Amino acid sequence: AKQLGDKRSVMVKVPVAEVRTKAEDSAPIAFKAEQNVLLDLVGVNGSWVQVRDREGAAGYVKVQQIWGV
């Protein structure tokens, strides 16, 4: 059984991934993540993936921009 402490990570596979405040293209950008940066996987919402960075910033990124889902 998986422990609750296990975190799944995803990796940015495009030069710069735009992480948005909501799971929609028109939403403001929360932060940008550069290629090969690891982000914590929070959840999946259709073609969007909710992620969090090491500083705790969270948002949604298009599934096509990352590996690991």
Query: What digits encode the pLDDT tens for the residues 15-36?
Result: 999 999 999 999 999 999 999 9
What's the whole-model pTM score? 0.87
User: Can you read off the two tokens belonging to residue 24?
Assistant: 């929609």
Using alpha carbons, select from 37, 36, 31 the residue that is nearest to residue 56.
Answer: 31
Please, which pLDDT band fits residue 4 given cuts at 50, 70 and 90? Answer: low
Alpha carbons 22 and 30: distance in angstroms, whole number: 9
Alpha carbons 12 and 45: distance in angstroms, whole number: 17
